């Protein structure tokens, strides 16, 4: 970095005395590749001088230096304004009128309680993604300001580089504290002037020198009792580094726990593992008050109020409002569907309302797009929600393992019946994901997703957002995190078949043995044939696994009328078909009486034929190369085309 000779000029003249205007040349004194002049930033150097720093590409160059006289301007240069006063569309608004009243009242009671009887000095409000935590935080700020309660806040946001890290946190808090408590100005500003490098030092040093020590000094010098000061940090999980999140929590809570000054701290975040480790640690157990939105303050009634008010506003203000009134729009069923998809989280309802409020479209048609009843074209009704989901899934370490668990959850039919079944075999089956993952493995694979789902040994996977499966099953929305039903059904089928074919027949007796050694059960086979195979792609590998399948003693309940499930669509008389039929007949011959065998042969002929008729079409259509039938179908009338398809594939 090159220094220019000191120039004595006012701050207002900085633009006119920059080197590229005075004829002085400095390193990088050219236009950028985009034809724009470099940006400028007023700061201070180690010599207590104010400098104009020019930004060329990846380099910062000192363009001019003037005597440093105002510590407040130096402070302003490091403040992230959008972290406490933002009108960005991406930021959550305050709570809708007359909603969230219970949780807001609980928080304000915690803030206004007398210091002498205060028990909890730290508050953590947590909940699922989109639960409305930021809206609650902004409403609390408004309530504190209206009651002249000193509050300094920092709203993190992951995609905003000015507020997704810890660098501007202290300067931003100090700026607000000096506005709320003017007496701090005479204490803080001289500290900045004495140490002009303070904002390049560690976070601990900045907090101690510019917030903690000044507050304690003010308390010593004050003749009256000071008001409680609130420090509010929202979206702590949106700070880009996990270790920075933990550092912020430790620094602030260590000071608050000393109770040397009436300062309390409010954290708002998702209940992610790294934050749970810090905020639920034993060191904070006596001072932490936790408010869980997911369990303690259910929002269904508030969401319903928000939707009704929003629909009323649309009908009264939208250009198509008269038309909406005549249609008696929306139907109660539409509102109920939005409520179900919201799952108690405000974000889904707010995204829907924002989308259908577009003044250049018809709200009724936009709502049909939301419900999947009308093609969306180039419109993206869930772009904000999808961005949130994709960010959450980007934190997953092993996306393949996570996708396997989610596919198992999404595509396994009647799993709830198995979970609530009376036998240990059924419960064991549900907890093993086709036998390849233990309960611990499942928990590890889902550890990064507590803000959108939960998992328990006895309850399985529970989605906190009913809209999440829609996202995962739509490739346009989920992109890299798309869960393809055909692909994963094939994978799940092969995993189940490997378990069954690798089990030794000699130890397949008794439920205790089955549970002890994680051996396949009747429920595995039924789950596979009902849940996965109907949607799987009949690959060569899958057919080989099916051909290797053998009947065994634990399949006694697979006999007619269920054996038609063993038809895998490789054609009448195909290799898999023939092998499975012979295996079943041989099994019955070896294990049943002569009269039972004769009855079974009659039944198997009937049901195998039923299997051909019922199962052939779907598998053949998946295997078919459509181009080989173009000549047959080209030029056909609708009726003859249907006849050709019926003859070949039905």
- Cβ 125 vs Cβ 207: under 8 Å: no
Q: How confident is the model at residue 219 (pLDDT cuts 50, 70, 90)?
A: very high
Classify burial at 246, counting beta carbons within 10 Å of its beta carbon; exposed 0-12, middle 13-18, buried 19 or more: middle
For the segment 436-451, the average pLDDT, to the nearest whole number, is 91
Q: Which pLDDT belongs to residue 609?
A: 53
For the segment 233-259, the average pLDDT, to the nearest whole number, is 94
- Cβ 85 vs Cβ 152: under 8 Å: no
**Same domain as 176, residue 206:** yes
**Same domain as 281, residue 323:** no
Give the highest mean pLDDT range of 56-65, 87-96, 403-412, 611-620.
Answer: 403-412
Classify burial at 301, counting beta carbons within 10 Å of its beta carbon; exposed 0-12, middle 13-18, buried 19 or more: exposed
- Cβ 230 vs Cβ 86: under 8 Å: no
Classify burial at 20, counting beta carbons within 10 Å of its beta carbon; exposed 0-12, middle 13-18, buried 19 or more: middle
Say if 256 falls within a structural domain: yes
Strands 263-269 and 288-292: unpaired
Instruction: Tell me which of 264, 292, 320 is where a domain ends.
Output: 292
Half-sphere exposure of 212 (CA within 13 A, CB side): 18
Q: Which pLDDT belongs to residue 524?
A: 75
Number of domains within the chain: 3
pLDDT greater than 60 at residue 575:
yes
* Peptide bond preceding 561 in cis form (omega within 30 of 0): yes
Q: Which pLDDT belongs to residue 332?
A: 96
- Cβ 341 vs Cβ 463: under 8 Å: no
**Same domain as 137, residue 257:** yes
**Same domain as 285, residue 142:** yes
- Cβ 548 vs Cβ 593: under 8 Å: no
The pair of structure tokens assigned to 196 is 């002009």
- Cβ 254 vs Cβ 261: under 8 Å: no
The dihedral through the CA atoms of 129, 131, 135, 136 has a sign that is negative
How many helices (H) and strands (E) in the chain?
Answer: 30, 10
**Same domain as 316, residue 411:** no
Q: Which pLDDT belongs to residue 574?
A: 61
Phi-psi region of 361 (alpha: psi -120 to 50; beta: other; left: phi over 0): beta
- Cβ 445 vs Cβ 405: under 8 Å: yes
Higher pLDDT, residue 525 or 12: 525
Per-residue pLDDT tens for 44-58?
A: 443 444 444 444 444
Per-residue pLDDT tens for 476-492?
A: 999 999 999 999 999 99
- Cβ 382 vs Cβ 369: under 8 Å: no
For the segment 345-368, the average pLDDT, to the nearest whole number, is 94
- Cβ 436 vs Cβ 495: under 8 Å: yes
Say if 40 falls within a structural domain: no
Say if 507 falls within a structural domain: yes
Half-sphere exposure of 133 (CA within 13 A, CB side): 31
- Cβ 14 vs Cβ 52: under 8 Å: yes
Q: How confident is the model at residue 38 (pLDDT cuts 50, 70, 90)?
A: very low
- Cβ 113 vs Cβ 226: under 8 Å: no
- Using alpha carbons only, give the angle 188, 189, 194 rounded to the nearest 5 degrees: 100
**Same domain as 364, residue 481:** no
Say if 276 falls within a structural domain: yes
Beta bridge partners of 65: 51
- Cβ 293 vs Cβ 269: under 8 Å: no
Q: How far apart are CA 297 and CA 476, in angstroms?
A: 34
- Determine which of 41-45, 78-82, 121-125, 175-179 has the lowest per-residue pLDDT on average: 41-45
How many Cβ atoms are within 10 Å of 117's Cβ, its own excluded? 6
Q: Which domain holds residue 268?
A: 73-292
**Same domain as 281, residue 318:** no
Per-residue pLDDT tens for 90-101?
A: 566 899 999 999
How many Cβ atoms are within 10 Å of 298's Cβ, its own excluded? 12
Question: Torsion over CA of 360, 365, 371 and 374, rounded to 10 degrees?
Answer: -110
For the segment 159-168, the average pLDDT, to the nearest whole number, is 94
Residue ranges in 343-438 assigned as alpha helix (H): 346-356, 363-370, 383-393, 399-411, 415-419, 424-430
**Same domain as 316, residue 285:** no
**Same domain as 193, residue 127:** yes
Instruction: Tell me which of 356, 372, 388 is where a domain ends.
Output: 372
Nearest Cα to Cα of residue 231 among 205, 267, 259: 267
Instruction: Tell me which of 258, 292, 326 is where a domain ends.
Output: 292
- Residue 193 parent element (H or E): helix 185-194
Beta bridge partners of 46: none
Say if 211 falls within a structural domain: yes
- Cβ 646 vs Cβ 602: under 8 Å: no
Say if 50 falls within a structural domain: no
Per-residue pLDDT tens for 252-280?
A: 999 999 888 999 999 999 999 899 999 99
How many Cβ atoms are within 10 Å of 587's Cβ, its own excluded? 19
**Same domain as 502, residue 454:** yes
Q: How far apart are CA 355 and CA 351, in angstroms?
A: 6
Q: Which pLDDT belongs to residue 526?
A: 75
Half-sphere exposure of 118 (CA within 13 A, CB side): 24
Query: Which residue is listed with tokens 């402070």?
Result: 75
**Same domain as 193, residue 141:** yes
633: Cβ contacts below 8 Å, ≥ 6 apart? 641, 644
Q: How confident is the model at residue 457 (pLDDT cuts 50, 70, 90)?
A: confident
Say if 190 falls within a structural domain: yes
Phi-psi region of 547 (alpha: psi -120 to 50; beta: other; left: phi over 0): alpha
The CATH number linked to 154 is: 3.40.50.300
Q: Which pLDDT belongs to residue 179?
A: 95
Per-residue pLDDT tens for 371-393?
A: 998 998 889 999 989 999 999 99
How many Cβ atoms are within 10 Å of 649's Cβ, its own excluded? 15
Say if 530 falls within a structural domain: yes
Nearest Cα to Cα of residue 39 among 25, 18, 24: 18
Per-residue pLDDT tens for 490-515?
A: 999 899 888 777 765 434 444 444 44
Q: Which pLDDT belongs to residue 101?
A: 94
For the segment 533-549, the average pLDDT, to the nearest whole number, is 81
Per-residue pLDDT tens for 399-438?
A: 999 999 999 999 988 654 544 444 434 443 444 677 788 8
**Same domain as 307, residue 279:** no
47: Cβ contacts below 8 Å, ≥ 6 apart? 196
- Cβ 370 vs Cβ 381: under 8 Å: yes
548: Cβ contacts below 8 Å, ≥ 6 apart? 497, 501
Query: Which residue is listed with tokens 């803080």?
Result: 188
Helix-strand-coil split of the chain, %, nearest 5: 55, 10, 35
């Amino acid at each position: 970095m090159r220094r220019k000779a000191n120039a004595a000029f006012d701050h207002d003249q900085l633009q006119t005395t920059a080197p590229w205007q005075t004829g002085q040349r400095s390193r990088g004194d050219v236009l950028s590749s985009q034809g724009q002049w470099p940006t400028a930033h007023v700061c201070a150097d180690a010599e207590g001088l104010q400098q104009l720093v020019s930004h060329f590409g990846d380099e910062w160059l000192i363009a001019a230096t003037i005597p440093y006289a105002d510590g407040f301007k130096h402070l302003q240069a490091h403040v992230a304004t959008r972290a406490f006063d933002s009108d960005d569309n991406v930021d959550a608004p305050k709570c809708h009128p007359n909603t969230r009243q219970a949780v807001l009242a609980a928080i304000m009671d915690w803030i206004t309680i007398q210091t002498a009887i205060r028990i909890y000095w730290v508050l953590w409000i947590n909940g699922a993604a989109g639960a409305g935590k930021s809206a609650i935080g902004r409403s609390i700020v408004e309530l504190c300001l209206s009651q002249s309660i000193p509050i300094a806040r920092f709203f993190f946001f992951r995609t905003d580089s000015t507020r997704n890290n810890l660098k501007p946190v202290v300067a931003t808090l100090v700026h607000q504290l000096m506005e709320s408590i003017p007496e701090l100005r005479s204490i803080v500003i001289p500290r900045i002037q004495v140490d002009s490098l303070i904002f390049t030092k560690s976070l601990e040093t900045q907090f101690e020198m510019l917030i903690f020590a000044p507050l304690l000094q003010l308390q010593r010098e004050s003749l009256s009792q000071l008001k409680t000061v609130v420090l509010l940090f929202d979206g702590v999980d949106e700070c880009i580094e996990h270790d920075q999140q933990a550092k912020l929590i430790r620094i602030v809570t260590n000071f608050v726990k000393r109770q040397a000054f009436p300062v309390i701290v409010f954290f708002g975040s998702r209940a992610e593992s790294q934050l749970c480790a810090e905020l639920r640690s034993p060191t904070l157990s006596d001072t932490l008050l936790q408010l869980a939105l997911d369990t303690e303050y259910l929002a269904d009634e508030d969401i319903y109020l928000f939707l009704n008010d929003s629909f009323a506003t649309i009908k009264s203000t939208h250009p198509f409002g008269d038309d909406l009134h005549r249609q008696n729009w929306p139907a109660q069923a539409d509102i109920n569907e939005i409520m179900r998809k919201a799952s108690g989280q405000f974000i889904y309802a707010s995204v829907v309302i924002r989308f259908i409020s577009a003044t250049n479209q018809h709200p009724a048609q936009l709502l049909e797009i939301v419900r999947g009843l009308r093609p969306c074209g180039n419109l993206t009704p869930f772009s904000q929600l999808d961005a949130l989901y994709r960010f959450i899934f980007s934190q997953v370490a092993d996306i393949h393992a996570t996708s396997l668990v989610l596919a198992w959850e999404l595509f396994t039919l009647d799993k709830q019946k198995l979970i609530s079944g009376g036998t240990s075999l059924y419960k064991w089956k549900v907890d093993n994901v086709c036998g390849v993952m233990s309960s611990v493995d499942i928990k590890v694979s889902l550890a990064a997703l507590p803000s959108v789902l939960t998992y328990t040994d006895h309850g399985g996977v529970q989605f906190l957002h009913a809209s999440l499966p829609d996202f995962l099953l739509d490739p346009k929305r989920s992109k890299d995190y798309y869960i393809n039903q055909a692909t994963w059904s094939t994978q799940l089928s092969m995993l189940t078949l490997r378990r069954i074919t690798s089990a030794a027949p000699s130890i397949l007796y008794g439920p205790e043995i089955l549970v002890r050694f994680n051996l396949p059960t009747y429920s595995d086979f039924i789950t596979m044939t009902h849940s996965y195979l109907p949607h799987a792609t009949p690959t060569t590998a899958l057919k080989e696994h099916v051909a290797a399948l053998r009947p065994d003693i634990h399949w006694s309940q697979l006999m007619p009328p269920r054996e038609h499930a063993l038809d895998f669509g490789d054609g009448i008389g195909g290799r898999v078909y023939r092998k499975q039929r012979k295996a079943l007949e041989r099994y019955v011959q070896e294990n049943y009486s002569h009269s039972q065998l004769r009855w079974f042969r009659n039944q198997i002929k009937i049901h195998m034929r039923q299997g051909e008729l019922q199962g052939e079409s779907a598998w053949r259509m998946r295997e078919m190369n459509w181009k080989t039938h173009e000549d047959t179908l080209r030029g056909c009338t609708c009726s003859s085309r249907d006849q050709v398809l019926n003859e070949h594939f039905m």
